[in-house]
């Protein structure tokens, strides 16, 4: 494809177009075609720029009241809420699980109705709030994980209502507005106070003294987005090579260099180990300010295989020697045998000892002699990404024999 005409070329085309004589319609038509193409090129809009790396906003898994565990759908009235827990309430007034309030009767109204974004929840089992709940404080909590996110980009917003009133705490600190009513929602937006890893979002609901039937409940719409932090690190080994004898250990230091803003831990492992060799890391997972680990390879020395001589062979030799010496006993007189008895016993002992002194057998097993390239890998992951980097160390193994 040829490049489009330059701005100068387009100016030349337009300036010469007016000088073309009308008496040559063929030339005029050709110049008009070129002129139209030049104008179209000059007016064409360029494609929109791609978003910069790390600028795409990603939904964060948070859910309003009344959802199934982990969403995305709403649960049925009377069911347990799938994402909030009750961490505090007046003594004996609740368990740890809030329930989705039944509809079709009191307290609807005066409570505002449920919507497609959330449902009312309360402390009473099976969602029956047509009763009096204890006066006092009820604390509803949801946790969410920001391990993968750049905290400066996180935004959490929504709206809430409560009977009788509620305030918000993020990681134990009061944030946002107070909701003073159960007839309408109060919007809120949070963009600070977050921390890497698990965060807690609490709604503290106060149930005032009763005026007749006195239910307590909470309604929350919730959304959150953020930009995922780049997950990257480098892996190094020091020294890069070691030379040892089979049976000895070899130690290396493994260092992980985390990327800017990285908070994930890195799990370490060995690959392509030679036979009869083990590896261990101390610690096996690095991170949270501790980015080095001691790697030890434990090699194995070869061991002698079974001797060529065996108990059966030694017994055979001993019996053969005894047989050879006992034959003359039958050929001589009994009185002539007594002087030779000590010699016979000594000969049998020597024969048995010699039969057990066979030459040692060949060596076997152990870490093989030679140069071994061993891969050391580290893996970091979070709920949205996973990354593995590797480095190689050299283990030179010599033999003592």
Q: Measured between alpha carbons, how far is 160 from 166 in angstroms, rounded to an integer?
A: 8
Distance CA 229, CA 151 (A): 9
Residue 196 contacts residue 265 (beta carbons within 8 Å): no
What's 85-145 look like in SS3? EEEECCCCCCCCCCEECCCCCCCCCCCCCCCCCCCCEECCHHHCCCCCCCCEEEEEEEEEE
Query: Do the domain assignments include residue 21?
Result: no
Choose one of 227, 258, 287: the last residue of a domain. Answer: 227
Same domain, 77 and 100: yes
Please check the confidence at residue 65 and state whether its pLDDT lies above 90.
Answer: yes
Domain that holds residue 371: 233-302+366-398
Q: How many domains does the chain have?
A: 3
Phi-psi region of 280 (alpha: psi -120 to 50; beta: other; left: phi over 0): beta
Bridge-based pairing of strands 285-286 and 266-271 is antiparallel
What is residue 219's predicted lDDT score, i.e. its pLDDT? 98
Is 242 a residue whose pLDDT tops 50?
yes
Assigned domain for 90 exists: yes
Q: Are residues 195 and 109 in the same domain?
A: yes
- Tell me, yes or no, whether 353 and 252 share the same domain: no
* CA 31/CA 28 separation, integer angstroms: 5
Looking at per-residue pLDDT, the higher value among 258 and 40 belongs to 258
Q: Which stretch of 49-53, 166-170, 320-324, 325-329 has the lowest confidence by average pLDDT?
A: 49-53
Whether residue 85 is found in the same domain as residue 136: yes
Lowest mean pLDDT among 95-99, 230-234, 362-366, 392-396: 362-366
Residue 325 lies in a domain: yes
Shared domain for 242 and 370, answered yes or no, is yes
Angle of CA points 196, 197, 202, to nearest 5°: 95
Query: Which residue among 163, 194, 227 closes a domain?
Result: 227
Confirm whether 310 is domain-assigned: yes
Helix (H) or strand (E) holding 279: strand 278-282
**Confidence band (pLDDT; 50, 70, 90) for 18?**
very low
* Domain assignment of residue 6, yes or no: no
Lowest mean pLDDT among 33-42, 169-178, 380-389, 390-399: 33-42
Q: Please report the pLDDT score of residue 307 as a whole number.
A: 54
Token couple for 393: 């160390």
Q: What is the predicted pLDDT for the residue at 371?
A: 93
In the predicted structure, residue 174 carries a pLDDT above the cut 70: yes
Q: What is the mean pLDDT of residues 115-132?
A: 94
Note whether 216 and 345 are same-domain residues.
no
CATH of the domain at 84: 2.60.120
The H helix count followed by the E strand count for the chain is 5, 22
Tell me: do 145 and 238 sit in the same domain: no
Residues 66 and 175 in one domain: yes
Residues 189 and 338 in one domain: no
Q: Per residue in 318-332, is it b (16+ CB within 10 Å) or e — as a string? A: beebbeebeeeeeee
Is the pLDDT confidence value at 6 over 90? no
Q: Are residues 173 and 278 both part of a single domain?
A: no
Q: Please determine, for residue 393, whether its predicted confidence score (pLDDT) is greater than 50.
A: yes
Q: Are residues 221 and 298 in the same domain?
A: no
Residue 81 has pLDDT above 70, yes or no: yes
**Average pLDDT value for residue range 180-191:** 96
Of 200, 205, 193, the C-alpha closest to 122 is 205
Rounded mean pLDDT of 12-40? Answer: 41
CATH code of the domain covering residue 248: 2.60.40.10
User: Average pLDDT in the 337-342 region?
Assistant: 52
pLDDT of 355 strictly over 70: no
As a whole number, the mean pLDDT across the chain is 80
Give the residue-averaged pLDDT of 106-122: 96
pLDDT above 50: residue 261: yes
Average pLDDT in the 92-98 region?
Answer: 93
Of 207, 227, 247, which marks where a domain is finished? 227
pLDDT band at 44 (very low <50, low <70, confident <90, very high): very low
Predicted pLDDT at 303? 83
pLDDT at residue 37 is higher than 60: no
Alpha carbons 258 and 234: distance in angstroms, whole number = 7
Q: Which residues contact 1 (CB under 8 A, 6 or more apart)?
A: none
Do residues 244 and 391 both lie within one domain?
Answer: yes
Q: What's CA 223's distance to the chain center, in Å?
A: 24
Helix 7-17 with 25-43: angle, nearest 10 deg? 150
């Amino acid at each position: 494809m040829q490049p489009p005409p330059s701005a100068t070329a387009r100016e030349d085309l337009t300036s010469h177009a007016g000088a073309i004589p009308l008496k040559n319609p063929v030339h005029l038509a050709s110049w008009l075609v070129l002129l139209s193409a030049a104008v179209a090129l000059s007016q064409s809009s360029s494609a929109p720029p791609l978003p910069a790396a790390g600028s795409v906003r990603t939904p964060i898994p948070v859910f309003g009241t009344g959802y199934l565990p982990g969403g995305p759908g709403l649960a049925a009235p009377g069911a347990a809420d799938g994402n909030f827990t009750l961490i505090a309430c007046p003594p004996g007034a609740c368990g740890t699980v809030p329930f989705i309030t039944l509809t079709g009767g009191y307290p609807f109204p005066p409570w505002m109705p449920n919507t497609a974004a959330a449902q009312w929840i309360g402390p009473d089992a099976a969602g029956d709030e047509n009763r009096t709940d204890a006066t006092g404080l009820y604390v509803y909590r949801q946790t969410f994980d920001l391990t993968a996110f750049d905290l400066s980009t996180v935004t959490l917003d929504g709206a809430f209502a409560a009977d009788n009133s509620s305030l918000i705490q993020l990681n134990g600190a009061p944030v946002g507005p107070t909701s003073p009513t159960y007839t309408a929602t109060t919007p809120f937006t949070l963009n600070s106070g977050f921390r890497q890893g698990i965060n807690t979002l609490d709604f503290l609901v106060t149930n005032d003294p009763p005026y007749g039937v006195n239910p307590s409940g909470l309604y929350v719409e919730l959304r959150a987005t953020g930009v995922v932090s780049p997950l990257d690190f480098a892996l190094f080994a020091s020294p890069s090579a070691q030379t040892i004898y089979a049976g000895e250990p070899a130690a290396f230091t493994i260092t992980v260099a985390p990327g800017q803003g990285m908070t994930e831990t890195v799990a370490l492992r060995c690959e392509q180990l030679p036979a009869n060799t083990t590896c261990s890391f101390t610690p096996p997972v690095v991170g949270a300010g501790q980015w080095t680990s001691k790697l030890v390879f434990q090699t194995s020395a070869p061991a002698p295989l079974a001797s060529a001589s065996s108990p059966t062979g030694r017994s055979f030799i001993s019996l053969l020697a005894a047989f050879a010496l006992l034959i003359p006993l039958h050929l001589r007189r009994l009185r002539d045998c007594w002087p030779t008895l000590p010699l016979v016993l000594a000969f049998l002992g020597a024969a048995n000892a010699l039969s057990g002194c066979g030459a040692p057998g060949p060596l076997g097993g152990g870490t093989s002699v030679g140069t071994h390239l061993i891969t050391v890998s580290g893996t970091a992951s979070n709920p949205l990404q996973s990354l593995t980097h590797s480095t190689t160390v050299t283990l030179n193994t010599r033999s003592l024999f």
